[in-house]
Amino acid sequence: MSPIQTLIRQHHAGQAVGLPSVCCANAQVLHAAMEVALAHNTPLLVEATSNQVDQFGGYTGMTPSDYIAYVRKLADLAGLPPERLILGGDHLGPNTWQHLAPAEAMANARVLIATYVRAGFHKIHLDCSMACAGDPVPLPDAIVAERSADLAQVAEQAAQAAELPPPVYVIGTEVPIPGGEASLAGGLQVTRPDAAAATLAAHQQAFAARGLHGAWERVIALVVQPGVDFDHSTVHHYAPAEAAPLSAFIAAHPGLVFEAHSTDYQSERALHALVRDHFAILKVGPAATNALREASFALAAIEDALIPVEQRSQLVEVLERCMLEQPRHWQKHYHGGPDQLRMLRKYALSDRSRYYWGEPAVAQALERLHANLQDRELPLPLISQYLPEQMEAVLDGRLPPRAAELARHKIGLVLARYARACHANNAEALC
């Protein structure tokens, strides 16, 4: 039995346990996530999305096998035991190829699934909800389920051929496209129990039609909308009463939990409530990368106070210039006049700047920032001014006053809320 299935059994047995999912490819964020997992003695689920990593490289330039090797190397450096690391693939399906006809898009999706599974990804989110060229909009449940079962069959065959443990599956989607955001101006609709039941029934029927009975036993979660989301400047907070009917529905399916996407910026109290209400897989991404951005901007301000102007990294300016020169990652998402766009590029909660940390000019500026600061103990008054949460840990002797450690600690504070929410017995553990 998969360790995730064991955890779900514990959850349905009444234990307040869940599993955070860190959706990210940034080395600093992943390092912080690994430190949190070690501090809280928990497993770590790291997921790549279909637009980040695919057989052609995705926007990170990594194939599935590249990404696995990359994350495992980081885990080795951080001292995270291999058995504590779980790799997942998110929104795997024809998403990247929606402009193609269904047959061609699904052919690419089959290769995508096979390469993920052969590389060693264990948790597979089958997402065929997006319409391809010529498809009806929205896609009927039956078509979504049939395409998902098609990909599950590919995954089963790939795992068997590679002599790997069979994967576990997540089905359904009621969230924005990978990397996207939905405006919250019109409110947010919690998934109706009858809609969740229809999705589940359609997928079960499609799996059965292909003889995938064993694979269906490894479907662990259903993606729904529990009433949590965020956009560029607002957060829609979890309201347990609104999700109560949905929570009651999944309680009757002891092998399943819900997977909640876009839980970024929820309070720790809300995260605990989500786990209690069977939204036991909590996905986070932009909140962690935004913490990295905040930490980097804070360190750049400290650099301005300590380093002569001609030696500074100019990180904030370099990032802005790169985003202006290559607007493809934010142009469709941010709207408004020049001042509004400038503010969104820097500070939006959706954090489209996360797509630019790997650009050579930005990476070089970040490296210079850390080189300028790393060999010195940063003055306490500047830490207090720009990183006040880290100041307390420094004064307590839990954190050295050095740039890289300060940045990881800030990211870790975000991720530690998920660790505590998903493992109630660790609620008093410190990040």
pLDDT tens-digit series, residues 366-410: 999 999 999 899 999 999 999 999 999 999 999 999 999 999 999
Task: Name the residue ranges covered by the structural domains of the chain.
Answer: 3-285, 290-416
What is the share, in percent, of the chain residues with pLDDT greater than 70? 95
Could you tell me which residues come within 8 angstroms of residue 155 by beta carbon, excluding any fewer than 6 positions away? Answer: 113, 114, 116, 117, 124, 167, 169, 215
Q: Given this model, what pLDDT does residue 396 score?
A: 96
Q: Given this model, what pLDDT does residue 428 score?
A: 39
Cα 355 → chain centroid: 14
Assigned fold of 290-416: GI Alpha 1, domain 2-like (1.10.400)
In the structure, how many helices (H) and strands (E) does the chain have?
Answer: 16, 10
Read off the pLDDT of each residue in 61-79 and give the average, rounded to a whole number. 98
In 3D space, the residue among 111, 131, 119 whose CA is nearest the CA of residue 87 turns out to be 119
CB 282 within 8 A of CB 21: yes
Q: Given this model, what pLDDT does residue 328 score?
A: 96
Q: E strands of 210-323, at which residues? A: 219-224, 229-230, 235-236, 257-260, 281-284
Give the C-alpha distances (Å, rounded to integers) separating 234 from 10, 91, 183, 316.
Answer: 34, 24, 9, 23
pLDDT tens-digit series, residues 204-250: 999 999 999 999 999 999 999 999 999 999 999 999 999 999 999 99
Whose tokens are 């109560």? That residue is 244
Q: Given this model, what pLDDT does residue 186 score?
A: 63
**Cis peptide leading into residue 167 (ω within 30°):** no
Assigned fold of 3-285: TIM Barrel (3.20.20)
Q: What is the DSSP string of 403-431?
A: HHHHHHHHHHHHHHHHHHHHBGGGTT---
Alpha-carbon distance 178 to 81, whole Å?
Answer: 29
